[in-house]
Structure 1
């Protein structure tokens, strides 16, 4: 149960609604009008790269048997893209204090635990988790670097509660997104094959 709870912090059922909330809130909290577009490009690029890597494998068998790699871990990549930015925004009222840096550090720590959960639950290989974390951390760090001079307005307690209400409800519900199944179906259609590639088929090529 512990690992399943942690892995949900990287599930699309939680991350996509949370990313939408960020998109709606950023214009009211950032002093830079470009922040919103930076965020949309950051999260969208992460999703696009992850999806393309999965389609490449599921539809065309593009992967690495040597490194047991079938595409970026979506949970790892997307959580590493979102949570550092989420904690950066929520900690705006803390100014430049060490508490704000501590909050942002939590945003970087959450994806590490998500990645560990994917390994513990045997959903991904080590190479897929590491690649996903590198992708997500690179994008979120680039976003935060671009916002170094941006002032962020703090949340009142009521605003904070409202911003967290939907993510907390989704976590309580625990429904898992069917993103993988959708991408598998799409990959089959694009490649014109009957069945998607599997990890077992890829690894059998190594023998």
Structure 2
């Protein structure tokens, strides 16, 4: 496995097609038990806050074309923001019954995975550096508040169970490799909100790292195939950026 294929695998793990269904499944597990129901409502608020702000930042650019002067920025990176909310939080929730030291290590590993996903989003040119950094910071802030509110409560009412973990892993397995059509959805919303015939879109943020095409015998031809997460272009129905 090459480093390029690792980057592609990581960016899929941070896609909304994986994280949003995962967040909903986690919400269902939390709300199912009276002992964790309040944590579930906090989790719903955290997910809505992060995903909502990501969406609003992108729709704002599409409608107005405004961005900070000198910045290559069209909205918060959803890959970075959702990853820094989801993975550290899930790590803390599923290790709720364990000692504090193990939970801290688990949260650290979740944050490390989120960082790797964020880096892959920049390396593969799905997002500019400013979009990745600001998205990661926003996801970290919300995750920190969520964990501060739930840390002690989940020690008293742990969430983790074999069924819960198995269902999460199965969902991840089924969702990895798919893309959430956020760009098309937000583009449609921006057109309806603005009433314009077209919306503001950014040209490609840079050369994309592409996987080589493989011949039937397994040899590389040197010809690139379409990038798993291509950068945006000028059409509303263009490529996906989350």
Residue ranges of structure 1 left out of the alignment (5+ in a row): 202-207
* 1:13 match: 17
How do 1:68-79 and structure 2 match up within 5 A? 68-79=72-83
* 1:87 match: 91
* 1:139 match: 142
CA distance in structure 1 between the partners assigned to 2:163 and 2:29 by the alignment: 14
How do 1:37-116 and structure 2 match up within 5 A? 37-96=41-100, 98-116=101-119
Deviations 1:69-117 (Å, cap 9, x if unpaired)?
1110111111111111111111123232x22211111111121111101
Q: Does the 8 Å contact 2:30/2:159 carry over to 1?
A: no
**Deviation of the 1:6 alpha carbon:** 0.5
**Deviation of the 1:2 alpha carbon:** 1.5
CA distance in structure 2 between the partners assigned to 1:110 and 1:40 by the alignment: 22
Q: Does the 8 Å contact 1:15/1:78 carry over to 2?
A: yes
CA distance in structure 2 between the partners assigned to 1:157 and 1:35 by the alignment: 20
CA distance in structure 2 between the partners assigned to 1:197 and 1:180 by the alignment: 12
Q: Does the 8 Å contact 1:7/1:118 carry over to 2?
A: yes
* 2:162 match: 157
Out of 156-165 and 35-44, give the one that drifted further.
156-165
Q: Does the 8 Å contact 2:85/2:139 carry over to 1?
A: yes
CA distance in structure 2 between the partners assigned to 1:114 and 1:65 by the alignment: 27
Q: Does the 8 Å contact 1:30/1:153 carry over to 2?
A: no
SS state at 1:92 partner: coil
How many residues align? The count is: 198
Cα-Cα RMSD = 1.9
